[in-house]
Amino acid sequence: MPSYYFRELWTPLRWVGIKFFRDDEGFLWIKWWAKPRKRLR
């Protein structure tokens, strides 16, 4: 499994458990509550 370096992007959605991350390749990822991260387009 590949190793990624993530940086969290702050949004008000974080208050309700939805977090956005940017990886070291520039892709956007989303994490909903306790579910694993998924890459967005």
Check: CB of residue 28 under 8 Å from CB of residue 22: yes
**Number of Cβ within a 10 Å radius of residue 13:** 13
**Rounded mean pLDDT of 4-17?**
94
Please tell me the predicted confidence (pLDDT) of residue 1.
57
**Number of Cβ within a 10 Å radius of residue 40:** 10
Most distant pair of Cα atoms in the chain: their distance: 31
Please tell me the predicted confidence (pLDDT) of residue 35.
94
Tens digits of per-residue pLDDT, 15-37? 999 999 999 999 999 999 999 99
Check: CB of residue 18 under 8 Å from CB of residue 28: no
Task: Name which residue leads in pLDDT, 13 or 1.
Answer: 13
Whether the pTM exceeds 0.85: the reply is no
**Number of Cβ within a 10 Å radius of residue 33:** 8
